[in-house]
Every structure is written in structure tokens, then in C-alpha cells.
Copies of this chain bind each other. A is one copy, B any other.
Amino acid sequence: MSSESQRIVLAARPVGEPKATDFRLESGPLPTPGEGQVLLRTIWLSLDPYMRGRMSEGPSYAAPVEIGGVMEGGTVAEVIASNSDKFSKGDIVLAHSGWQTHAVVDARGLRKIDPALAPISTAVGVLGMPGMTAYTGLLEIGKPQPGETVVVAAASGAVGSAVGQIARIKGARAIGIAGGADKCRYVTEELGFDACLDHRDPDLAAKLKEACPKGIDVYFENVGGKVWDAVLPRLNPFARVPVCGLIADYNALTGDAPGPNRAPALMRAVLVKRLTLRGFIVRDFAALHGDFLRDMSQWVREGKIKYREFVTEGLASAPEAFIGLLKGKNFGKQLVRIGPDKV
């Protein structure tokens, strides 16, 4: 057991795109768990777009990470010392212990993972927060009906890939949008989407029209920007738009966007097409966690839901991996391997 812990802290609030110097690697002695606490050794760190929001001040659904504070993040970890009767040394747990090799946390915030059921990394992927985001947003807000058309961007990513595959399980058509031919091929050939368009295609709007001859009934919004502009005119009356993320806009939030002002046209579309736009975060649907685990693990076992992981090695790789994630450089669920499964 190493006697040193490493962590990545937020060194500065990014202006626009985060850069390497907005982060700092620090080290220190291993902390000691107090009463009711455990000491964790991180195995997997999940990187997710929402983390960009935690780096900025301003109103959000969660407080920002403080300057000098450890970056937040979901993790899969091993209990290496326990002062709680709920967990034993050697247990594998789902935690939210952030960008660090070790952490002392309250046992109450942890959930035990059974390594026999599925690879433990899926607890922060298809069977974790991204999978549940897809499941709840699509089914509770999007409500796709058989024969309807569902569009989702970042379609090779952790959330988007699940959205499209669940849409197909429910009998809807799934149209993905992704960055580049390789990802698009994966989305159609491996994941079984009905079509996938490259968001870099200058003809995106026309291609989208062609791929959705009956219009769009559900648009799972996780990117914003130009994709949303292309989707809006194609939405059908009574279309539903679960708003889960706006990755394309995250870096631009510090300033006003240049005109023309599209907000009146957006509100007019909401009125005239009787659209439903609803923002959500996964914990709004915490009551559905049991349903999610039951359905999703079954679909994964049956091969109806496939997933792909994109792994970088070592804690020090996390900042560059995160910067790449915001640019779509990942191909699949972005993970950082912090430590081996067993030491």
C-alpha cells in the first residue's frame, strides 16, 4: 500500500476552453479514515461533460469546485481501510471521490459493486450515471413511441449511445450525430442506429432532413450549438426535447452570443409546434434507479445495449483527457485508469 496520495486540483477557472494550466497535480500523505469512514484506492475515474460546469462560478444546480479544491468525479474504488461496519477491506464501491488516487469518504455515500455481475468500470458507464441519464431522460421526458424518430448527438459517447439503443428497443427509429466517419460507422454498424450523420458536414441540415423523412419526435439534447439549430426546424408537432447537456456551449458561457437573436424564434417554435422542452439531471429521477438497473443490466446481458470505453492511463492524464472530451476526441465512454483492479 503506497503511503502517498495524489490529486488533481482546479488551479484556475477556465475562460472558454479549459487548458492544462487550469489544473495542478498535488501529492500528500495518505489520509486516515475517521469514525464511519473508509479509505478508498481509486481504480477508475469517470470523466463527463458536466464537469465543465463545476469549473465555473454562476448559477447552476451544484456548487462549483473551489480554486485549489480537488476536481469532482465519479469513481470505482477499492476499500483499503474501513472504520465502518458497512464496508470491509477489499470491497469494490461506487463513489464520488474525484480526481485522486485515494480518498477518505463517509461510508453513507457509497454503493457496493458486485464484480461478478459486470466489469466494474460499467458502474460509472452504461450501468451508472451516463446510462441512467440516457434511460430516464429518454423514457420519462422523451417518451418515444413505436415508429417515432429519435435524434441524439454525441451518439458514440456514453449517454448518446445508450439513448439510441434504448430508443430502438422501444420500437423507435434512432438517428445519431457524431464526429467523423469512424464514429458514424460504429454507431450504425455496431450500435444498430438507423443512420448517423457527421456534425462536421457543412450540409448537416439537409442530411438531417433526408435521414428523418417523417420529422423528429424526440431530440435528446446533449450538445446544443449547431446541432440544435439544425434539429429545431425538423421537430414535429408535440415533439419532446429532454435537455441533458449543452457541451457545445459550455465553453462559451462566460459571454453573450453574437446575434441574430434566435430566442424569439425558439419560443415561437415551442408555441406553434407545441413542443415540450425539459431540463433534467439524473438525480431528479433517483426513484427510478431500481428500474434502470434491472432493465439496463438485462439489456446489456442480452446484447441489446453495447458500449465502448475510451481509456487513458494514470491520474496525470486526466486534464488532457477531459480537454479532449469537450472536443469530442474520445470514442466511447471516457475513463481514466487510476490504479489496477487488484494490488
* Residues of A in contact with B (beta carbons under 8 Å apart): 53, 59-61, 221, 224, 228, 237, 243-246, 249, 252-253, 256-281, 284
Q: Are B258 and A271 in contact (CB under 8 A)?
A: no
Of the candidates B243, B245, B258, which one forms a contact with A259 in the assembled complex, judged by CB atoms under 8 Å apart? B258
Among A246, A257, A271, max chain B CB count under 10 A is at: A271
Check A275/B265 contact, CB under 8 A, given A243-B270, A257-B260: no
Check A274/B266 contact, CB under 8 A, given A259-B260, A260-B258: no
Q: Are B59 and A272 in contact (CB under 8 A)?
A: yes
Q: Are B249 and A264 in contact (CB under 8 A)?
A: yes
Q: Are B266 and A266 in contact (CB under 8 A)?
A: yes
Which chain B residue lies CB-closest to A233?
Answer: B59
Q: Are A272 and B263 in contact (CB under 8 A)?
A: no
Q: How distant is A338 from chain B, measured CB to nearest CB, in Å? A: 29
Q: How distant is A321 from chain B, measured CB to nearest CB, in Å? A: 24
State the CA gap A260–B59 with chains docked (Å): 20
Q: Are B268 and A253 in contact (CB under 8 A)?
A: yes
Of the candidates B61, B228, B256, B260, which one forms a contact with A237 in the assembled complex, judged by CB atoms under 8 Å apart? B61
Which chain B residue lies CB-closest to A228?
Answer: B267
Q: Are B264 and A261 in contact (CB under 8 A)?
A: no
Check A276/B274 contact, CB under 8 A, given A246-B264, A259-B258, A266-B266: no
Q: Are B279 and A272 in contact (CB under 8 A)?
A: yes
Q: Which residues of B contact A268 (CB under 8 A)?
A: 246, 249, 253
Q: Which residues of B contact A262 (CB under 8 A)?
A: 257, 261-263
Which chain B residue lies CB-closest to A257?
Answer: B261
